[in-house]
Every structure is written in C-alpha cells, then in structure tokens.
C-alpha cells in the first residue's frame, strides 16, 4: 500500500493498470446500442449511397448531350426510379435522393431551367457530373465504420441504421454496486432527525454513471460499523465488477471503509494530492475493483468524474482519453497555494472577443450548490499560486465529463 498522497494523473495511471480488458461480448439491437462499446470493428455491408443519386431537384441528362433540345421523357422519384432507357438529348425529371437513370450523369437544378412543351431549356449549364452523389460517396462497402472499442453515439446509431445493420457486437456491461456510508444519512422524503442529513451522493453517483454501458446496483446506505460494512462489501464484491462507496475514508473516528478494505481485500492507496478529493481509497476485493470516494458531495463528484469514471470506461472496453480542455480568460481571482492540483466549479460565458470563465463562488466541498450553475471545472495546476483576474486558465467542460 502506498502511503504517499498521489497526484491525480499518478493515481489514474496506477488504477488503469488494474483494470482488465472486457472479454464477454453480446449482440445489441440498434435501439439498445446507444452508449454501448463495440467489441469488434463494424464494416459497412454495402456502399452508401448504394446507387447514383440526385443531390437536388432538377433534370438528369447526359452532360455531353446537345443542350438546345432536351426532351423530357419521364420522372425519377426517391423510391421510384425511372428504369427506361434515356437517349442522348433526352432528360428525366428527378428529385433529391432519386436514382439517376442509366446513361445520364448530370443533374441541372430546376432553378436553372425553363420548361416548354416537354422541352427543357437550360439557362445555366452545370459542370459535368454536377449534383450527383456517386455510389459509396458517403460510405464504401467493407469500410470500417466503427472501430473496436468505440462508444456508440447517437450519430453512430444513425450510421449503423443507414448501413442496414440491425444489431452490433458489443462488450457486456460491467455491474457497478453503489453504496453511501454514514450513520447520519437518511433517505430523501423521510422526516429529518436532528443531526442527520439526507443522502445525496448515491443519487448523484448513480446519475453520473447513466451514460456508461454499465448495470448499476443501487445498494443503499451502510452504517458506520465495521462488521456491517465488511459483510456488505464482501457480499456485493461477489456480484459486482466495481464497488463505489462514498464517505468513511478519512481519518475520523467513524471512518471504517479504508480499514475494512484492508481487512477483506487490498488497499492500494488512499490519499490523493487533489482538492477537492483528498481521501480516496482504491483497491480490490477479490476480482472486484473498489473505489472509496470521499464523503463531501463535491469531492465525491470530482473524484468520480476524474478517476472512477475513466477507470470504469476502460472496464467497459474503451480507451480513456484526457478530458477536453481549453484555455479561457479568468474573470475572478482564485486564491491557491502551490502543492496540490485543484478543480473549482466554473461558468464559461460566450463573451466577446473570447469566452471567459467565472468561479461559482464559495468552493467548500460540502456545497453541492457550487455545481448548480456550473458548466465546467477550472483546473488550477499543482505548482501554481494565486490566479489573478485576467489570467488564462484550463477549463474542462462538464458536458462530456458528466
């Protein structure tokens, strides 16, 4: 067990080495594929478009034909191709998405023509091949459209559907057990006893896992009691691939999670050089990965987003990449003492001439309200002192993280 506090990137790298690659695969139908991870490359079974198609409403003809006298001989609509022969000097009325008749190669848009007695007069001749989508112009047959380990987005679902693929091979979903810990915690909706608070972490954690292809077991609240924690974690570790708890990982008299983990499994480390999120216990119980997240709600969220979620994403079959970050002008002064990386909640605004960022005020780690209007995290590097108003900071949009 490492007793030295780890920097965020050290902790994440160390955890990712413990995360095994998924090996169970299954088929997901298209309506169940969103957010799943491909277990094999997906190839296009056909060209898209599968036939030469018009990109505009107009008239299809052979470009080399004599444009003085184009005779209109039929109509090609989407889903109703014109299949008769088109001779040189003839043309076919054609709509967007309709198949180009054989022996035509160009579409003149209707705005560039006049029609008189079944004759088309082209006012502005288009270039050869204009307004025609060639076969495979979007996707070529046998082309890899989704590589292995890709999280399937809504766009990918559309691409799969467009290729006529009804089901896709994906990795099975790991099972994630979520507990809160603490004698003070009550379920929302109950009458609050003096000295108690409502459990919020379990609700946030479950929702923050919703975009991952995981099965979540919401396992309730554990008391601050070593035997009860030990019994519950052992039982859950036999069913789950990952256990997430919050609270009880610090050095208080009622903090039993870390010691329990040491007794029933392996504690790899339990301190981070991070604000918020200093205590975070990571280890294993048998084959089950264990994350003891800190109890303060803001710390729970930041460590879940920055450490546990990337690790779970890897367990799902993806290769985690560093979060999207951009540079932004700071509109507040942030007081910071060098030595620990920090993430504050912020609001990026579309100011001119460039976006700016404000903090959401008091950044105490119990203040869930610091997330209410936040749309980003502001990274304050470890070796940095106070950041003055007007300086440039790294900003991580919460969209994509949360």
Asked if 250 is part of the footprint of ligand AMP (rule: CB under 6 A), the reply reads yes
Asked if 199 is part of the footprint of ligand AMP (rule: CB under 6 A), the reply reads yes
| Three-state SS at 169 | strand
Residue 206: which of 173, 171, 177, 239 has the closest Cα? 177
17: which 2 tokens? 């080495």
Asked if 246 is part of the footprint of ligand AMP (rule: CB under 6 A), the reply reads yes
Stretch that binds Mg ion, among 201-209, 293-301, 323-331, 384-392 (CB under 5 A): 293-301
Stretch that binds Mg ion, among 92-100, 259-267, 287-295, 342-350 (CB under 5 A): 287-295
Residues in Cβ contact with 219 at an 8 Å cutoff, skipping those fewer than 6 apart:
177, 178, 179, 232, 236
Helices 257-264 and 226-239 pack at an angle, to 10 degrees, of: 60
Stretch that binds Mg ion, among 13-21, 123-131, 174-182, 214-222 (CB under 5 A): 174-182
Number of residues that bind ligand AMP (CB under 6 A): 19
Number of residues that bind Mg ion (CB under 5 A): 4
Is residue 331 a contact partner of residue 389, using CB atoms and an 8 Å limit? Answer: yes
Contact with Mg ion (CB under 5 A) among 22, 174, 177, 182: 182
The number of angstroms, rounded, from the C-alpha of 193 to the middle of its chain's C-alpha atoms is 39
Alpha-carbon dihedral sign for residues 82, 88, 94, 100: positive
Residue 217 beta carbon to ligand AMP: minimum distance, rounded to whole angstroms: 16
Residue 204's binding partner, choosing from ligand AMP, Mg ion, none, with beta-carbon cut-off 5 to 8 A by kind?
Answer: none
Asked if 292 is part of the footprint of Mg ion (rule: CB under 5 A), the reply reads no
Contact with Mg ion (CB under 5 A) among 247, 277, 283, 310: 247
Residues in Cβ contact with 374 at an 8 Å cutoff, skipping those fewer than 6 apart:
345, 346, 347, 360, 398
In whole angstroms, what is the distance from residue 164 CA to residue 48 CA? 10
Residue 90 or 303 having the CB closest to ligand AMP: 303
In whole angstroms, what is the distance from residue 76 CA to residue 210 CA? 46
Contact with ligand AMP (CB under 6 A) among 85, 197, 227, 324: 197
Contact with ligand AMP (CB under 6 A) among 49, 149, 213, 247: 247
In whole angstroms, what is the distance from residue 54 CA to residue 51 CA? 10
Alpha-carbon dihedral sign for residues 66, 72, 78, 82: negative
In whole angstroms, what is the distance from residue 313 CA to residue 306 CA? 11
Residue 255 or 341 having the CB closest to Mg ion: 255
* Positions in 279-338 near ligand AMP (CB under 6 A): 294-297
Stretch that binds ligand AMP, among 1-9, 165-173, 241-249, 284-292 (CB under 6 A): 241-249
- Which residues sit at the interface with ligand AMP, rule CB under 6 A? 180, 182, 184-185, 197, 199-202, 246-248, 250, 252, 255, 294-297
Which stretches of the chain bind Mg ion, using CB under 5 A? Answer: 182, 247-248, 295
């Amino acid at each position: 067990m490492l007793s030295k506090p780890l920097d965020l990137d050290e902790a994440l790298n160390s955890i990712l080495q413990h995360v095994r690659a998924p090996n169970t695969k299954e088929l997901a139908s298209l309506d169940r594929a969103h957010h799943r991870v491909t277990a094999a490359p997906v190839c296009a079974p056909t060209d898209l478009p599968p036939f030469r198609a018009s990109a505009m409403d107009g008239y299809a003809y052979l470009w080399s034909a004599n444009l003085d006298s184009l005779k209109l001989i039929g109509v090609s609509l989407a889903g109703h191709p014109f299949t008769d022969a088109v001779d040189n000097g003839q043309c076919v009325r054609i709509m967007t998405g309709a198949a180009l008749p054989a022996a035509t190669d160009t579409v003149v848009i209707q705005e560039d023509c006049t029609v008189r007695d079944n004759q088309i007069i082209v006012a502005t001749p288009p270039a050869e091949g204009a307004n025609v989508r060639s076969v495979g112009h979007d996707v070529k047959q046998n082309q890899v459209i989704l590589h292995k380990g890709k999280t399937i987005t809504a766009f990918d679902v559309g691409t799969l559907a467009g290729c006529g693929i009804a089901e896709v091979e994906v990795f099975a979903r790991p099972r994630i057990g979520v507990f809160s810990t603490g004698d003070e915690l009550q379920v929302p909706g109950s009458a609050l006893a003096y000295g108690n608070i409502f459990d919020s972490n379990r609700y946030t954690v479950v929702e923050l896992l919703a975009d991952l292809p995981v099965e979540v077991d919401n396992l309730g609240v554990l008391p601050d009691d070593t035997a009860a924690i030990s019994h519950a974690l052992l039982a859950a570790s036999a069913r789950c691939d990952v256990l997430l708890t919050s609270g009880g990982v610090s050095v208080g008299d009622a903090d039993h999670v870390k010691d329990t983990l040491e007794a029933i499994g392996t504690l790899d480390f339990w301190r981070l050089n991070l604000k918020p999120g200093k205590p975070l216990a990571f280890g294993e119980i048998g084959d089950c990965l264990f994350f003891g997240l800190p109890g303060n709600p803001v710390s729970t969220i930041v460590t879940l987003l920055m450490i546990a979620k990337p690790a779970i994403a890897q367990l799902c079959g993806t290769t985690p990449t560093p979060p999207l970050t951009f540079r932004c002008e700071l509109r507040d002064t942030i007081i910071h003492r060098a030595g620990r990386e920090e993430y504050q909640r912020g609001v990026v605004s579309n100011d001119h001439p460039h976006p700016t960022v404000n903090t959401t005020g008091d950044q105490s780690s119990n203040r869930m309200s610091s997330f209410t209007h936040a749309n980003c995290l502001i990274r304050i590097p470890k070796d940095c002192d106070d950041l003055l108003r007007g300086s440039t900071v790294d900003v991580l949009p919460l969209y994509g993280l949360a």
